[in-house]
Amino acid sequence: MDFRNRHVVITGGAGALGTALVAALVEAGAICHVPCLDEAEAQRFRLREHKQVVLSVTGSLAEEKPIAGLYQGIAPLWASIHLAGGFAAGPLRDTSVATLRQQIDMNLVSCLLCCRAAVSAMAGNGGRIVNVAARAALEWRSGAGMAAYTASKAAVAALTAALAEEVAKDGILVNAVAPSIMDTPANRKAMPKADYDLWPKVEEVAATILFLASPENRVTRGAVVPVYGKS
């Protein structure tokens, strides 16, 4: 897939999935714009010195001002990929309003605001938007014990389908992936007795995102693609 000289925003690009995706994108020739929450996150990102990577420290992406600064001046923007988000588990009876709002902000609001900025930046040129939902966003009963997270990710899935219809005639194809638990160091630490062979690898999930964001994707829109591996 040819991304030569194409500008791509990747929120959450410094995380495990993000690093795998940015590595694939730069290999394909993309110029990757990666916002980081803080300087510490930027320093941890192993591709920060790559000549095709543009790092910025934006703070929270649930606020309009940092998003405006992130997208301003990226021209032409080809793709915007929204990996940034957060997770919270626990029964609903113990879930505070603060946790609910945090999940909505981290997962839905950040995604929605980035989608809005990307649509404006792509005006007249077309492009690709890829969001990240979750398995629980498609299989709601699997979200028992993490209802706030499930609801926020289900909203991302609905946003994806609605926006895809809204901007299709502008040449902007909007899709999402819905991962199950991915094989990352953090997830292995949290679940030391799990069978890691069943989990999708971050490189495998990144490959699906790469296609959806690519010029080779000419017709797929409004999809929320399950990326479950063997789990």
The sign one gets for the Cα dihedral 155, 130, 140, 165 is positive
DSSP secondary structure, 144-174, as one string: TTBHHHHHHHHHHHHHHHHHHHHHGGGTEEE
Q: How many CB atoms lie within 10 A of CB 203?
A: 15
CB atoms under 10 Å from CB of 71, counted, come to 22
53, 7 in Cβ contact below 8 A?
no
Annotation marks residue 228 as catalytic: no
As a whole number of angstroms, the distance between CA 30 and CA 51 comes to 11
For the chain, the 3-state helix, strand and coil shares in percent, each to the nearest 5, are 45, 20, 35
Residue 229 gets the label, from left (phi > 0), alpha (psi -120 to 50) or beta, of: left
Q: For residues 114 and 12, is the Cβ–Cβ distance under 8 A?
A: no
Active-site residue, from 71, 149, 196, 228: 149
Active-site positions read 149
